[in-house]
């Protein structure tokens, strides 16, 4: 039995390191059930935790949750400290993604921090990383950057990959309009990949995150061609992986970069390359945050279509560091134009409801402000062309 269990686990570890998370989840689950059958509870628990994490990473949140709940109810007396910690951390992420409650999440984070304080061998950088994510959801982006910096500094070689702290810092710095700080973090991410002892798992992660960071920064700088190039490299980089989080990024930022290429024509024409991506976007990630981001993207798509119809140059609305140049010529109202305006307003209304829900969870209003700013840009266009 021991040899069989070890063989299955070795195979699972191998595909996990190659970002083949779906395959890893199946193998870990096989080892979990195999060990459980022979009443090797510690081994079973270890494999079960690894399976739950792998299911979550490939986007199978229901299977991950089911396994986490089973494991939480049957923790063996001899369970490894790291397995118990990792299970409770996965439970934190499941709640964070599927049913966020700031009070409960803060309480769970406190329990995890207590475990880390009791056992120095546990991941030292994970707690500030999780705190950074919560601060970002609250719109406290300066605090989020501070915690990402702490997570990077305290990374102890296990737990969350160190590169994940960098991408959080880059995103939050751009929210704060600190472009030079974001570029500094990109340099750290590049340097991280070059470290000789880095495992293949993080090498792949570093390379993908560098590309997505370049997309972020290129969009912020309004260098649309650079954004398109980085997006193509990113798509190639993740082609052989099974990380669900990257599929959402691939579609959202693929759509954004395609909308900035005026040569692609009307965003609403049936053959526009961004339209197929938009149709597939909702099939990837169904978390509350992804739902909000999808609604926000639909507004930006509608705004892009309206700008095209009235002869305006494309503008990316995510960072919006370059204001739209409004038309100076009035346009005679027509049904096509009125329909585009109406559909943009409807998209804003739908997104605003979801923004209000998430803002209530995190006691803030920055998402609602994002939507209102888009409504203001819509009103500017309408006033310029129709009044």
For 322-350, give one letter per residue: b (16+ CB within 10 A) or e: eebeeeeeeeeeeeebeebbebbbebbee
Q: What is the pLDDT of residue 1?
A: 47
Please report whether residue 177 resides in a domain. Answer: no
Task: Look at residue 3 and tell me whether its pLDDT is greater than 80.
Answer: no
Q: What is the pLDDT of residue 42?
A: 96
| Domain region containing 94 | 1-122
State the CATH number of the domain containing residue 70. 1.25.40
Q: What is the pLDDT of residue 59?
A: 87
Please report whether residue 371 resides in a domain. Answer: no
Please report whether residue 16 resides in a domain. Answer: yes
Task: Look at residue 2 and tell me whether its pLDDT is greater than 50.
Answer: no
Distance between CA 196 and CA 201 in Å, rounded? 13
Distance between CA 314 and CA 355 in Å, rounded? 25
Instruction: Evaluate whether 378 touches 303 at the Cβ level (below 8 Å).
Output: yes
Task: Look at residue 307 and tell me whether its pLDDT is greater than 60.
Answer: yes
Taking alpha carbons only, the member of 353, 355, 350, 376 closest to residue 367 is: 355
Distance between CA 166 and CA 184 in Å, rounded? 10
Percent of the chain with pLDDT over 70: 98
Task: Look at residue 367 and tell me whether its pLDDT is greater than 60.
Answer: yes
pLDDT tens per residue, range 113-150: 999 999 999 999 999 999 999 999 999 999 999 999 99
Q: What is the SS3 assignment for 76? A: coil
The answer to whether the predicted template modeling score (pTM) of the entire model surpasses 0.85 is yes
Q: How many domains does the chain have?
A: 1
Task: Look at residue 284 and tell me whether its pLDDT is greater than 60.
Answer: no
Average of per-residue pLDDT values in the chain: 93
Please report whether residue 111 resides in a domain. Answer: yes
Please report whether residue 112 resides in a domain. Answer: yes
Task: Look at residue 233 and tell me whether its pLDDT is greater than 70.
Answer: yes
Residue ranges of alpha helices (H) inside 38-178 are: 41-57, 61-72, 81-98, 102-118, 126-137, 141-154, 162-175
Q: What is the pLDDT of residue 32?
A: 96
Taking alpha carbons only, the member of 84, 90, 86 closest to residue 66 is: 90
pLDDT tens per residue, range 37-91: 999 999 999 999 999 999 999 889 899 999 999 999 999 999 999 999 999 999 9
Percent of the chain with pLDDT over 90: 80
| Residue 224 pLDDT level (bands cut at 50, 70, 90) | confident
Please report whether residue 310 resides in a domain. Answer: no
| Residue 248 pLDDT level (bands cut at 50, 70, 90) | confident
Task: Give the lowest-confidence range in 114-123, 297-306, 329-338.
Answer: 329-338
Please report whether residue 118 resides in a domain. Answer: yes
Please report whether residue 358 resides in a domain. Answer: no
Q: What is the pLDDT of residue 186?
A: 97
Which residues neighbour 55 within 8 Å (Cβ) at sequence distance 6 or greater?
21, 25, 61, 63, 64, 67
């Amino acid at each position: 039995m021991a040899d069989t269990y070890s063989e299955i686990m070795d195979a699972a570890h191998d595909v996990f390191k190659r970002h083949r998370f779906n395959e890893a989840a199946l193998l870990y689950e096989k080892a979990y059930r195999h060990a459980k059958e022979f009443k090797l509870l510690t081994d079973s628990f270890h494999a079960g935790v690894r399976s739950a994490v792998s299911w979550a990473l490939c986007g199978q949140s229901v299977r991950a949750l089911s396994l986490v709940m089973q494991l939480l109810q049957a923790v063996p007396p001899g369970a490894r400290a790291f397995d118990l910690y990792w299970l409770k951390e996965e439970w934190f992420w499941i709640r964070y993604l599927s049913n966020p409650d700031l009070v409960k999440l803060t309480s769970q984070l406190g329990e995890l921090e207590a475990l880390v304080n009791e056992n120095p061998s546990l991941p030292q950088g994970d707690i500030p990383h999780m705190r950074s994510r919560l601060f970002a959801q609250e719109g406290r982006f300066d605090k989020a950057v501070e915690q990402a910096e702490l997570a990077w500094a305290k990374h102890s070689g296990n737990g969350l990959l160190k590169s994940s702290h960098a991408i959080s810092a880059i995103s939050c710095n751009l929210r704060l309009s600190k472009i030079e700080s974001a570029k500094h973090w990109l340099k750290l991410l590049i340097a991280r990949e070059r470290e000789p002892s880095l495992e293949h798992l993080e090498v792949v992660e570093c390379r993908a995150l560098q590309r997505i960071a370049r997309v972020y920064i290129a969009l912020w700088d309004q260098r649309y061609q650079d954004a398109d190039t980085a997006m193509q490299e990113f798509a190639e980089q993740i082609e052989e992986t099974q990380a669900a989080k990257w599929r959402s990024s691939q579609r959202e930022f693929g759509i954004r970069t395609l909308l900035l290429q005026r040569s692609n024509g009307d965003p609403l024409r049936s053959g526009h390359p961004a339209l197929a991506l938009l149709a597939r976007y909702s099939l990837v990630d169904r978390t509350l945050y992804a739902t909000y981001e999808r609604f926000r993207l639909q507004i930006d798509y509608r705004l892009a279509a309206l700008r095209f119809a009235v002869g305006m140059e494309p503008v990316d609305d995510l960072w919006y560091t370059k204001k739209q140049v409004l038309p100076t010529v009035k346009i005679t109202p027509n049904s096509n134009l009125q329909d585009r305006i109406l559909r943009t307003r409807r998209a804003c209304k739908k997104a605003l409801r979801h923004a209000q829900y998430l803002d209530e969870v995190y006691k803030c209003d920055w998402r609602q402000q994002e939507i209102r700013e888009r409504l203001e840009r819509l009103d500017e266009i309408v006033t310029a062309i129709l009044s």
